[in-house]
Amino acid sequence: MATTMRISKELLRELENLKKDKAAKSYEEVIKKLIEESKRLKKSHFGTLPKLEKFGREEIDRFD
């Protein structure tokens, strides 16, 4: 089922650029790719600092 959407000229230009960047055949394909990307899990910061020293507790870690 087809439908019509009203969008600004600025958004149309952005969709055109994304269509070229993503090598999409249609605006519908661009929108579907954007939706898929938004549903994917984002890259965690865990493991992005490999040179960071391992965390270790101090011998005394409480206040008495």
Residue closest to 35 by CA, chosen among 27, 47, 43:
27
pLDDT digits (tens, 9 = 90+) for 10-63: 999 999 999 999 999 999 999 999 999 888 766 665 567 767 777 777 776 666
At 30 the pLDDT is 96
Question: In the chain, what are the domain boundaries?
Answer: 9-38
**Cα–Cα distances in angstroms (integers) from residue 29 to residues 11, 25, 45, 59, in the given order:** 16, 7, 30, 58
Residue closest to 34 by CA, chosen among 19, 56, 12, 55:
19
pLDDT digits (tens, 9 = 90+) for 47-57: 677 677 777 77
Cβ–Cβ under 8 Å, residues 45 and 53: no
